[in-house]
Amino acid sequence: MPLQPTVRAVNAVATVLHPSERARVDAAAHGAYQPLHRQNVDEVMSDLRAQRVRAVVVSVACCGPAECSHLARLVREFPRVPAIALLTRLDPATPQAMLTLGQCGIRDLVDAREGAGWHQLRDALASSHGDELVRLALGMLSLDLVAVPDDCWRFFETLFRPPGECATVRELAQHLDVLPSTLMSRFFRARLPAPKRYLAYARLAQAARAFENPGLSIANVANHLDYSSPQSFGRHVRTLMRMSALEFRRRYDGEGMLQRFREELVLPFLSTLRRFCPLSKGTRWSGILRGQE
């Protein structure tokens, strides 16, 4: 059976389920995530490489010994993508299937034999972004940026939106409801690094986090982060970091790149940032021509 069309969605969840379970998983989703139902683990692996997937759900009913090596490879190659086992019924093969899941490295199990289990699954997937980088980044920055103005903190929060939402300064400014020229000029007047540099480092932190999944190639990561091509991503890395994309992958994980973000763009400018107000309440994005202030 051919794969369903690729869906570029931050909330995508890849599944391997018994046909009788699919409708109930769809109902549990209810806008919180978008299930991508696949026939086997190999198809899920293709999803993980082709697009951003929040989590993987595997039915206990589909986990026979034949799937063990495939599941183990999935967990090994995509350690930053949560994998959840779903139990909807008991049969003689269930104990062995659950043992197989544990041997493969899947530690989270949702028992959906009763109604509360479906709520548990929904809550688990709704709260699981498959990436803790945002929480990690904001946790670090909240200690550095104590008592900064609210709109300064909003700028840093927006930098770490899900990949693809703020790939350019124009998109960043739109999320902040300020004109790009206004945003850039305020950073310039405050003698801070340009917003483009903050954004570029934030995207490299996201890339470094993605590289923590050995199953993702450089081309996969470039695609996930909406670079126009792997070559464009490579040029971006070389311009900012003075190294190749391959060397960047070897040297930095997500936390390491966040530390460099702090050391170069936050800590040297703390006194300025603690009184910096980059946004204007009086200037709205909608209906105003770009370039006017």
Residues 66 and 174 in one domain: no
Domain harbouring 74, CATH code? 3.40.50.2300
Each residue's pLDDT tens digit, 174-186 = 999 999 999 999 9
Neighbours of 65 (CB within 10 A): 12
- Averaged pLDDT, groups of 10, the chain, 293 residues long: 44 90 88 88 92 89 83 91 91 86 88 88 71 82 91 92 81 92 94 96 94 94 90 95 96 95 96 90 38 37
Is 293 a member of any domain? no
Residues 180 and 257 in one domain: yes
Q: Is 85 helix (H, G, I), strand (E, B) or coil?
A: strand
Residues 94 and 184 in one domain: no
Residues 223 and 248 in one domain: yes
Each residue's pLDDT tens digit, 131-185 = 578 888 988 999 999 889 999 999 999 998 876 678 899 999 999 999 999 999 9
Residues 113 and 139 in one domain: no
Instruction: Compute the distance between CA of residue 236 and CA of residue 28 in angstroms, rounded to an integer.
Output: 40
Contacts of 283 (CB under 8 A, 6+ apart): 178, 179, 182, 293
Is 292 a member of any domain? no
Which domain, by its residues, includes 108?
12-127
